[in-house]
Amino acid sequence: MLDPCPDEAAVLRYLAGEAGVEALALEAHVDRCTLCRRWFAELARTSLGLPAVAVSDDDAAGPSLGEHLPPGTEVGRYRVLRVLGSGGLGVVYAAADPRLRRTVALKVLRTEVARNDAARLLAEARAMAKLSHPNVCAVLDVGVIDGRWFLAMALLEGGTLAQWLDQSRPRAAILQRFTEAARGLLAVHRVGVIHRDFKPSNVLLDAHGTAQVSDFGLSAELRESTEAHGGTPHYMAPEQRDGGGDARVDQFAFGVALGDALRGPSLPSWLLELVARCTAIDPAARYPDMAAVLATLERRGGSRLRRAARLGAVATVGVAAVIGATVIPRSGSPERADAAEAPPPAAAPIDTEVRARIDRAVARDLAGAEPTIMIEIEAAMAVALSHGDAAGIALSRLARAEALAKFGRLQAAYDEHARAFELATTIPRDDIAVDAAAAAVSLLVDLGRADEADQWLRRAEATLARIDQPDTHSVAGVEVARARVAESAHDLEGARVRLRRAIELLAAAAPRLDGERAVTLSRLAQMEARMGDGASARRHFAESIALASIVSGPQSVEVAETEANLAFLEAEHGEFEAARVRLERARSSMIREFGEAHDDIVALDSNLASLMLRTRAFDDALRLVDATLSRAPERRPVTCVLREQRALALMGLTREADAVAPLQSAIDCYDAVLGPGSREAELAGVDLERIRGNGAAPQ
């Protein structure tokens, strides 16, 4: 005979996790009483704010929930389609939701799981159902059928992070995925939920590759075995193995997973320190929370505001090394290099989703995907607008400006910086405004508008003066902007003085801004190379490489970019073989970081081809150029250079008739990209006329 049914107050106390010892009796009653089971589920659904679903009255009324449900089985309103995975806690299915006409991931928990920890499960499901975050897999529904809990979650089709890591990935892309996962863990912690079983197989990827943490709060239900203490042994913190632990057990698992993913040679010191601290045996020795872990990843691992500057450090030599033409300049804003080494002010009202979307745009940048970058940044802008987040809007504009500059759209990039500056000054956020103004200076110098650059420099200086305690990177950034203005006025010595001052400031803030100092040292070396001071240039290139090796690792892209610039200097001094070896080493590092299709690899291949042509390795040059042209972007200066290099290689092989078509193609490209009458097109035209004059091809 059943004991009396509980009243509504008792059930609500249970749902809130406040029933205490009363919970055991209530669970036993609900297990036997089909009426209370229905009522219990409906109250649970009401408290969660979720739509109602059907719950079977008894075991015979619905399907038998065995170990695996066959396709077509109905669980509430959901119809099972296939098994996605299973474990000690339950089985996950792809299931159709006919009401909303979508496919969901349906996790059906084992009976003993639901009975042993139903109150906590419900409390955590309630918290997760209220959480909307771009890096957390959304809980859509929760219910009970035949005495067993099920959760409906968003179904992501991009596979798991573990599957993604099965293939070789650039370090920057791995850091991006783990930064997203860290944001998800932090969001989960902030609603009072501990994951307890974080691992790459519990991180899902959406169609765009964005990481979303899943299976939160479902891993501490069983208590009978080692694995039942909530976790997978390999990722489990020592205190978790003993049945205890707080949110720092997730940090431990995160550190283990990150260390596994990045295992390999030459990890930068900051990454080694981060993994070691996350996985400290003593929880007190770890970071205080995931917010601190995330801050380190964002500051050191790749900020939304640093890419354009860093990439701008690599010059494109192209045909200049072969025929003495003017170097085609790369776009970008080098004075912004590593600006994000300093954390943003604590008061910055940056919406989490805005930051996530901007960082996804940076990840697209690593693949050279211009349209996708802009889509992500526009989405970030939309989120910031919807939240009324003025600082987020300003930062989105800066991100959009740097993406535009990266793809050579300097005027559009300048316009975005101007808008960001105007908005930042009205918030007011002078820390954002000074960065926008300094970046505008560099763009205007690149655009040949020296007078306007000087006006923007005065704005940057005035904005900096309004900040009571400006960050060193902002002060140094303005010094670099002053150097750009001096450079545009052909005052190379004045520019060198400014760059040295910036380096002194950054050195005083060591080691926090050592990344920015390494980039500025490289810029100083490039300036000295232009001045003919080869000895100083070599010394400062070497200092930059040594510093970047400590900060980012000897095989990092930061080191590779400076190695490339030093290779150009060696080539100018006739050291072609040494330059070729150095450039090939830099290329290997950059391919490891970005993949072979990235724009910077295309530029480096063009430079390598130049060295091959200078050393009369025409066959090697032709093979390299042909391979590079197959992945070169349209309507870019480097593509024009590659077409001309192909012609030069053919001419070196005495195949002048075959060189006519690529020469004409190069001239057409120069006219389209640089405008009619460029020096590059003129020089290519001279070669073309010489070939035709020799009778190699018809007029």
Reported as a single tens digit per residue, the pLDDT across 671-684 is 888 888 777 888 88
> b/e string for 448-471 if b means 16 or more Cβ within 10 A?
ebeebbbebbebbeebbeeeeebb
**Cis peptide preceding 349, ω within 30 of 0:** no
- 434 pLDDT above the threshold of 90: yes
| 309-322+513-615 homologous superfamily | Tetratricopeptide repeat domain (1.25.40.10)
Q: Which of 102-116, 408-422, 478-492, 509-523 has the highest mean pLDDT?
A: 478-492
Average pLDDT, integer, range 98-120: 70
Least confident of 363-377, 383-397, 438-452: 363-377
Do residues 104 and 140 touch, judged by C-beta distance below 8 A? yes
Distance CA 484, CA 453 (A): 9
Indicate left, alpha or beta for 232 from its phi (over 0: left) and psi (-120 to 50: alpha).
beta
Q: pLDDT band at 128, cuts 50/70/90?
A: low
Distance CA 496, CA 528 (A): 8
State whether the Cα torsion 55-217-233-105 is positive or negative.
positive
Cβ contacts of residue 50 below 8 Å, gap of 6+? 129, 140, 141, 142
Average pLDDT, integer, range 405-412: 72
pLDDT the model gives residue 242? 77
- 289 pLDDT above the threshold of 90: yes
Average pLDDT, the chain: 74
Q: pLDDT band at 455, cuts 50/70/90?
A: very high
> b/e string for 348-377 if b means 16 or more Cβ within 10 A?
eebbbbbbbbbbbbbbbbbbbbbebbbbbb
* Higher-confidence position of 326 and 578: 578
| 164-299 homologous superfamily | Transferase(Phosphotransferase) domain 1 (1.10.510.10)
pLDDT the model gives residue 334? 31
197 is catalytic: yes
Average pLDDT, integer, range 208-232: 55
- 221 pLDDT above the threshold of 50: no
pTM of the full structure: 0.46
> b/e string for 498-511 if b means 16 or more Cβ within 10 A?
bbbbbbebbbebee
Instruction: Give how far Cα 565 sits from Cα of 154, 436, 493, Å.
Output: 48, 27, 20
Cβ contacts of residue 112 below 8 Å, gap of 6+? 222
Three-state DSSP at 429 gives: coil
- What fold, for 8-154? Phosphorylase Kinase; domain 1 (3.30.200)
- 171 pLDDT above the threshold of 90: no
Q: pLDDT per residue over 244-264, tens digit each? A: 888 999 999 999 899 888 875
Average pLDDT, integer, range 527-536: 89
Distance CA 604, CA 545 (A): 18
- 279 pLDDT above the threshold of 90: no
- 319 pLDDT above the threshold of 50: no
Distance CA 513, CA 340 (A): 9
pLDDT the model gives residue 260? 85
Helix axes 171-190, 290-301, angle to 10 degrees: 150
pLDDT the model gives residue 413? 84
Least confident of 290-299, 399-408, 453-462, 602-611: 399-408
Distance CA 103, CA 84 (A): 12
- Active-site residue (options: 141, 146, 197, 431): 197
pLDDT the model gives residue 262? 85
- 543 pLDDT above the threshold of 90: yes
Q: pLDDT band at 456, cuts 50/70/90?
A: very high
